[in-house]
Amino acid sequence: LMNAAVAQGVEPAQIAQHCDSVSLCFSKGLGAPAGAVLAGSRGFVSEAWRARKVLGGGMRQAGVLAAAARLGLQHGEVTLRGDHGNARRFAEGIQALDSAVCSVSPAAVETNIVMVSVRGPWPSPAELCARLRAVSEEEVAETGRAVSVLLLPWAARTVRAVWHRGVSARHTELARRKLEFVAKKCQE
């Protein structure tokens, strides 16, 4: 919800007005260590509260977590804009590679998520992700760096990359360079 609101330049309420209920996780994108909020009709929230208690859910003295969630809400827009910018720069960097191994449509990058298309029969998305995660002696010798990038095989020919507050512009550039190195090795 928060990523969509920032990307569209609207208040979250403008999007949520079209929903019967909304759940917002404070640790996804907003940087709180834990916590979520649920909104909906009085009956819906009452039933959710009852189900939570029946299943043993509940926290005591959660004020510290609430404070972290509040900070996330107060500063989240700036952080999320940074995440979106890093994702866009990564996508543009992949497009500029003009690689036979992978491609991205930068126009499709609206938030902090980049879907990378894996071209050709090899490598598979899982193989590409394994190569991005691994650090080889050859990589260190050629690039002078040991970089491990964690992406997720998403579909038959797609890999998913997601940015969050812990991934800086520098990390983004290192990930792009790692992908360039891996793509080059896959083409050799």
Q: What is the pTM of this model?
A: 0.85
State yes or no: pLDDT of 168 exceeds 90: yes
Give whole-number Cα distances, 115 to 2, 4, 11, 26, in Å.
19, 16, 26, 24
Q: How far apart are CA 162 and CA 175, in angstroms?
A: 12
What percent of the chain is modeled with pLDDT above 90? Answer: 70
82-186 homologous superfamily: Aspartate Aminotransferase, domain 1 (3.90.1150.10)
Dig out the tokens for 187 from the structure: 């083409």
Q: Are 89 and 74 in contact (CB under 8 A)?
A: no
Number of CB atoms found within 10 A of residue 101's CB: 23
Domain range list for the chain: 1-78, 82-186
pLDDT in tens, 88-123: 999 999 999 999 999 999 999 999 999 999 998 889
Q: How far apart are CA 148 and CA 122, in angstroms?
A: 20
